[in-house]
Amino acid sequence: MHICLISLDYKPYRSSGLTIYAEDLAQGLLTRGHQVTVLAAQRCALPSHHWIDGVEVYRVRADKLDWITYSLRAVQLLARLQRERAFSLIHFLDVHFAYPYHGVYVASIWQSFRQRLTAHHGGPYHTGRVDWVRRQAYYRVARTFFEHRSVKNAVRLVASCRSTRDEFVAHYHIPFGRIDLAVQGINTELFCPTPHPELRKKLGLEHCRILLFLGFITPRKGMEYLGQAMCQLPEDVHLLVGGRWDESYRKIFRKVVGPAAHRVHDIGFLRDEDRPLYYSLADVYVSPSFLEGLGITPIEAMACGTPAVVTSATSGPEEVGNAGIVVPACDSRSLAAGIRSLLDDNELRCRLGQAGREKVLAEYSHLRMADLTIQCYERACLKS
C-alpha cells in the first residue's frame, strides 16, 4: 500500500508527542514494506519537499492559527498530489486535521475537546483567568465546527488506548466497531537499559535519588502537583525536567515548587540518543498528567527498566498496567506517597522495572503499532 500520513509536524521539528507518533508509525509501515508519504507543516526554513529516512515529506506553510489553517492547506496539497498518484489510504494522525477533507480517510483520536473543556476540576486546564477564557472559547468552537464533522466522516478511527476509545463511544456516539485499537509503539532497540555512571557524576547527583520527567510541558501535564510533591519528599530526592515548556506554565511551576527549587534541574530538550541515558539514570519516572491520549514517556522509561508513577486519569493505568504505580490525579500527597513507595523499596523498584521492560517488549513496539494500524487500513479499504 501507499499510505499518506497527515501530521501537523514531522522531524526534524517536533511540537508534541504526536510528531513522535508520526515518525514511529512511518518507520513501522516502511519496515512492513509499505510506501509512505507525509504531509506536515513547514517550519524553521525546512524545504517544501524532501526525503527523510525513506519517507517522502511535503510541507505546507503554517501560521498563527496553526492546525486550523494547516489542515486547509494540507488538504489542498493532498488534492494536487492525488491527481498525480493513487494513494491506497489517507490517514489523518489527529482526527481534527480532517475537517476540510471530503474523501475516504482513517483518523487517529487522542484527547477530545470535550475532555479538554472538563479535564481540570470540571473546567479547562489553564495558566490564569485570561487563558481560562481563551481556552473555553477555543475548545467550544473547535468541538462544534471541526471535531464533530471530522469524527463523523472518518471511515474508521484509530485509538491508542481504551480510555480514548470509550470517550468517543460515550460522548460522540461513535459505534464501538468503528474504532480500532492500535497502541502507540516505540523503538525498543533505542529505548533499552543504558547505564551511564558518569552521567550521575556529571550532574553532581552521585549521592541523590533521582526523579525524571520528560515531555512537552503544558498545563495538562499536572506539573504543579509534582512541584508540590517535591516539597514533601526528602532532601536527597532531586527532579530532572527535560522538554519544551509553555513559559507561562513554567512560572506557575516555579512558584509552586518554592523551597524545593534547588532540587529541580532543567535539563532542556534532549536528543533522541540521550533520552535512554536519562531514563536509565532515574530511579523513578513520574508522569502527573491529568489528560493523555496515551502518555508515551512512561512507556519509554519502562523500556529502559525504570518504573513509573502515573495518575489514574485517562490512559495512565493502561500505560503501566501492573508494572508501575498508579495514584489519583491532581493529588500531590498521593503522588508523593507513590514516589516514596518506590524510592524506599529497592526490591519493588527492581521488580517493577523488569516487569515494565517485559510489558513494553510484548505490547508497545513500533512494529506492533504498525501491524495493528495496517489491520485498520485493511478494514477501511474493505468498507470503501
Using omega within 30 degrees of 0 as the cis cutoff, is the peptide bond preceding 12 cis? Answer: yes
Q: Could you tell me if residue 192 is inside a domain?
A: no
Residue 317 within a domain: yes
* pLDDT at res. 383: 67
Other Cβ atoms closer than 10 A to 324: 28
52 is in which domain, residue-wise? 2-185+366-383
Asked if residue 140 is part of any domain, the answer here is yes
Burial class (CB in 10 A: 0-12, 13-18, 19+), 371: middle
Q: What pTM does this model have?
A: 0.94
Do 161 and 88 fall into the same domain? Answer: yes
Nearest to 18 by CA among 8, 32, 27, 5: 8
Q: How far is CA 110 from the centre of its chain?
A: 9
In a domain, 191, yes or no: no
- Asked if residue 234 and residue 127 are part of one domain, the reply reads no
Q: Where are the alpha helices (DSSP H) in 91-216?
A: 113-118, 129-142, 148-153, 162-172, 197-202
pLDDT at 381: 87
Q: Which of 97, 29, 113 is nearest to 60 (CA)?
A: 97
Identify whether residues 156 and 211 lie together within a single domain: no
Q: Any idea which residue has 509501515 for its cell? A: 29
**54 and 145 together in one domain:** yes
Torsion 306-307-311-316 (CA) sign: positive
Number of domains composing the chain: 2
Run of H or E residues at 302: helix 296-303
Per-residue model confidence as pLDDT tens for the chain (384 residues)? 999 999 999 999 998 889 999 999 999 999 999 999 999 999 988 999 999 999 999 999 988 889 999 999 999 999 999 999 999 999 999 999 999 999 999 999 999 999 999 999 999 999 999 999 999 999 999 999 999 999 999 999 999 999 999 999 999 999 999 999 999 999 999 999 998 889 999 999 999 999 999 999 999 999 999 999 999 999 999 999 999 999 999 999 999 999 999 999 999 999 999 999 999 999 999 999 999 989 999 999 999 999 999 999 989 999 999 999 999 999 999 999 999 999 999 999 999 999 999 999 999 999 999 999 999 999 998 766
Q: Looking at the structure, tell me whether residues 344 and 252 fall in a common domain.
A: yes
| Same domain (yes/no): 178, 216 | no
Instruction: From 155, 25, 169, select the one nearest 101 (Cα to Cα).
Output: 155
Q: Which pLDDT score is estimated for 15?
A: 87
36 domain-assigned: yes
User: Same domain for 143 and 274?
Assistant: no
Coil, helix or strand at residue 140: helix
- Domain shared by 234 and 342, yes or no: yes
Instruction: Determine, yes or no, domain membership for 153.
Output: yes
Same domain for 130 and 201, yes or no, is no
DSSP character at residue 365: B
Whether residue 31 is found in the same domain as residue 151: yes
- Residue 190, in any domain of the structure: no
Sheet with 209-217, strands from edge to edge, namely 264-268, 237-245, 209-217, 284-287, 308-311, 325-327
Structural domain contains residue 359: yes
Rounded Cα distance, 51 and 68, in Å: 25
Please tell me the predicted confidence (pLDDT) of residue 64: 84
Same domain, 140 and 7: yes
User: Same domain for 133 and 270?
Assistant: no
> Tell me, what CATH number does 209's domain have?
3.40.50.2000
